[in-house]
Structure 1
């Protein structure tokens, strides 16, 4: 890949601002952020899983797998809004072919040893997990709200802007973490030399 990769997680909450969502989806294939792999949030589809679980009290692992299905559904919605995006379970193959991938995480519904099956892990942490696997330079999270200045992964989790598992996944990703809210980009962590992440990459 000629340019560093950015994994872009687009929060499902942006559905409430359809104009901003469409602008963003149109800008990414134009190369505004360089080569990207897009991670969709579950949005209202994941909210429906939460509401159904609250009503019927089924176990968290099932809810987690249904929420992964919600992300897969949003991936297809994004591609319907912007036909230049390609829904895929293999972003590397799509990037190699010159495409702009929207990640379908359906394969994770079978379970993965690195990913706890609970609401502590949402698309925010999954974006970091994918960014580490793809050796991305940056993980960019597009949100409907701005973070506090200088907030790092732990502060973001405490503020409810990311999920509870996010700080732990951040330790396994050695790239930069950036949040993009309505007010613009805010660096939440510079790229760091993370021994655990570097060891995983070398494996």
Structure 2
């Protein structure tokens, strides 16, 4: 069965009905095996502030920023009763077999995974959870990446435009064209149905597909 990496944007963690919206989305993606990742959100922004105030060594702030994502991963596991934290592919496959949803521990995966095809991610504030999610999608390898965001995707856009318009981090464009499929969903949408916008390999916006009640 196809694997879908679903990155839950950090900006969504103040959404009161986040649980219900995620449950609805997962129910509509039932033909694939979901792998959830959490963005850093306000926790990662706190690390940015610490770095600005204390001028933290590069390795230190990078480690703290990753731990911020782990905090939000734990919240996902709390919100979704069928979600469990996993460290690697083997543990994720076990959860899929028993009908549970894996939430990937990003730090463990980044430390333990080496790829001859894709270089390690640079330690830079230009690399956030968007690029991390793309790198995980490529190295897993998964069949698609779904970015859950707080804004709609413009009707005509390329993967390069995503970074230029600050919808994703600056490094993301270096990975996006290699993704087998990239989809975008405004999880805050007030529409009755969730809309997924599909952008593939740097081409323009392709389609909007209704995927169920928001």
Structure 1 residue aligned with 2:121, among 115, 122, 136? 115
Q: 1:81: Cα distance to partner?
A: 1.1
Q: CA deviation at 1:15?
A: 1.4
Pairwise CA distance, 1:105: 1.2
Please state how far the C-alpha of 1:167 moved relative to its aligned partner: 0.7
Work out whether 1:23 is the aligned partner of 2:20.
yes
The one-character-per-residue Cα deviations of 1:76-101 (angstroms, maximum 9, x if unpaired) are 11101112101111144223342311
Report the equivalent of 1:199: none
CA deviation digits over 1:55-88, x for unaligned, max 9? 1111333222211111111111110111210111
Q: TM-score, normalised by structure 2?
A: 0.79
Query: Compared with structure 1, are the counterparts of its residues 110 and 134 closer, same or farther at alpha carbon in structure 2 (3 Å cutoff)?
Result: closer
| Residue 151 (structure 1) aligned with residue 157 (structure 2) | yes
> Residues 119, 4 of structure 1: CA spacing in aligned structure 2 closer, same or farther, 3 A cutoff?
same
Structure 1 CA distance, aligned partners of 2:92 and 2:9? 22
Per-residue deviation, 1:18: 2.3
Q: Equivalent residue for 2:73?
A: 75
Deviation at 1:28, TM superposition (A): 5.2
Secondary structure, aligned partner of 2:37: strand
C-alpha distance in 2, partners of 1:31/1:186? 15
Alignment match of 2:183 (pick from 178, 182, 185): 178
Q: In angstroms, what is the RMSD of aligned CA positions?
A: 2.4
CA distance in 1, matches of 2:14, 2:126: 23
Total equivalences in the alignment: 188
Q: What residue is the counterpart of 1:198 in the other structure?
A: none
Contact 2:86 2:104 in 1 (8 A): yes
> Is the Cα–Cα contact under 8 Å of residues 25 and 78 in structure 1 kept in the other structure?
no
Name the counterpart of 2:36. 38
- Which blocks of at least 5 consecutive residues in structure 2 are unaligned? 204-214
Q: Which has the higher helix share?
A: 1
C-alpha displacement at 1:29, in angstroms? 5.2
Give the Cα–Cα distance (whole angstroms) in 2 for the partners of residues 69 and 168 of structure 1.
24
Between 21-30 and 80-89, report the one with greater CA deviation: 21-30
Structure 1: gaps spanning 5 or more residues = 193-203
Alpha-carbon contact 2:159-2:177 (below 8 Å) kept: no
Change (3 A) 1:10 1:91: farther
Q: TM-score, normalised by structure 1?
A: 0.83
3-state SS of 1:117 partner: coil
Greater alpha carbon shift after TM alignment, 23-32 vs 8-17 = 23-32
TM superposition shift of 1:134: 2.0
